[in-house]
Amino acid sequence: MSHQFNSTVLREYDIRGIIGETLGPDDARAIGRGFATLLKRAGGSKVVVGYDGRVSSPVLEHALCEGLNASGCDVVQVGMGPTPMLYYAEASSEQVDGGIQITGSHNPANYNGFKMVFLGRPFFGADILELGRMAAAGDWIDGTGTVERRDVMDEYITRLLAPIAALSPVERERLSSLRMAWDTGNGAAGPAVELLTARLPGEHFLLFTDVDGHFPNHHPDPTDEKNLADLKKIVAGKKLDFGVALDGDGDRIGAIDGDGRVIWGDQLLMIFAEDLLKILPGSTVIADVKASRALFDMVAEHGGKPLMWKTGHSLIKSKMKETDAPLAGEMSGHVFFRDDYYGYDDALYAGVRLLVASARLGRSVTQMRGDMPGMINTPELRFQVDESRKFAVVDEVKERLTGSADDVDDTDGVRVTNADGWWLLRASNTQDVLVARAESDSDAGLERLMAQVDAQLAASGVERGEQAAH
């Protein structure tokens, strides 16, 4: 027996497809068989499984568990909840050897997919490709396994509240006066946020916590500003201190301050880093190559060690383990705490830490956002390019920049720093596009930086007019 996946489904950081077109129960069963086989061969035997609020998730969960059992692994079902609840169940139990969350994350309602943890580490890249090879060859162990149900929600919520207990009486008093909004966008984190906010100090206003896999109110991607319109409206209308938004599976955070300004991923990391470096001076703080120079400068100014790393939540998690960094984040809203937590991306925990940072630093979120340098930057610009050319174009740019007077960093693509600021060009790991971004402290500087990007793209035959949809 063997199985062939659609060529678009096995991706760099996760497995993702369109239900009924590129992804279905047979794929889920094959993923279960391959994952269980790898785990058994590595000495493991028990997998925790969770799923998000999409209409297709229960069917995929059933098939996945069948596959895991058929290759000899026992399954612990934790039911519907945010992805970080699944991560928590895996990280906090010594009896569990791996974890799989069925989730389409922030993608449209007809998508779904899988995020995986294997023996305590991210399962991505070559691991995911190996599942495809094993399925095509039918290279699976045969066996039997059990299924048990475990409710971890209350335990997870209690764990999220731990940072509050560490505050002083004065800091707790500050916390009790805070008023904020949470928008879960009808995603899987809704019920968890209801339970969490019922136990948090302060006053909390909740939006769209009913789980609905059709996402009737807005798309569950908090990094797109148009999806924050409802959050801005309630924060302004009720004069709240700030608002937090979560993506469809609760592992990415977005935020706005009391004036309705977006606090982007790197700006959130600046707040978290300032708070952390008071507790753990000299710590390494990791951010991806798309993050603002203001973040790296700020970490250094506060005595920390800034480290720029590759984009991708699995890559960041791996680098955190390697460097023992207590904090990391991405522009996409993934924030990772190893300080008093497990090192995975959890938007609910990040929301709690934002409350705590404001209380501990004695400044409002709005004040901290207002104190940040006024950098001028582009959004992520995406340019359609043939899959076979995307990495080659980046290599050609690197080659042309050899010997340049500018500072050229090739950690992930090419990030070029000069007197005007910086620009980035990298190949997407998940789409047939090149991603560009630039940042300066003046409009004229930004224009000059984008002219350099245009020149490099043109030299490799890529037209800027071919910008791809995000």
Q: What is the chain's Cα-based Rg? A: 22
Cβ–Cβ < 8 Å for 304, 284: yes
Catalytic residue among 56, 57, 71, 105: 105
Torsion of CA 71, 77, 81, 86, to 10 degrees: -60
Tokens 């991708």 correspond to what residue? Answer: 312
Residue 172 per-residue DSSP state = H
Q: Is position 105 annotated as part of the catalytic site?
A: yes
Angle at alpha carbon of residue 239, lines to 234 and 240, rounded to 5°: 75
d(CA 124, CA 127): 5
Beta strands in 88-130 (DSSP E): 98-102, 111-118, 121-122
d(CA 299, CA 296): 5
List CB contacts of 317: < 8 A, sequence separation 6 or more.
121, 122, 328, 336, 343, 344, 345
d(CA 433, CA 387): 8
Q: Which two tokens stand for residue 84?
A: 């970080």
**Pairing of the two strands 284-288 and 305-309:** parallel
Beta strands in 289-368 (DSSP E): 305-309, 327-329, 335-337
* 3-state SS class at 352: helix
Token pair of 111, please?
A: 């998508």
In sequence order, which residues have a C-beta less than 8 Å from that of residue 83 and are 6 or more positions away?
50, 52, 101, 103, 105, 115, 188, 249, 250, 251
Q: Which residues lie closer than 8 Å to 84 by C-beta, 6 or more apart?
A: 156, 250, 251, 344, 345, 346, 347, 348, 349
Strand-pair category, 74-80 with 98-102: unpaired
Q: Could you give the CA distance from residue 128 to residue 5 in angstroms, rounded to a whole number?
A: 11
Q: Between the CA of residue 30 and those of 51, 56, 129, what are the distances in Å?
A: 17, 17, 13
Q: Supply the residues annotated as catalytic.
A: 105
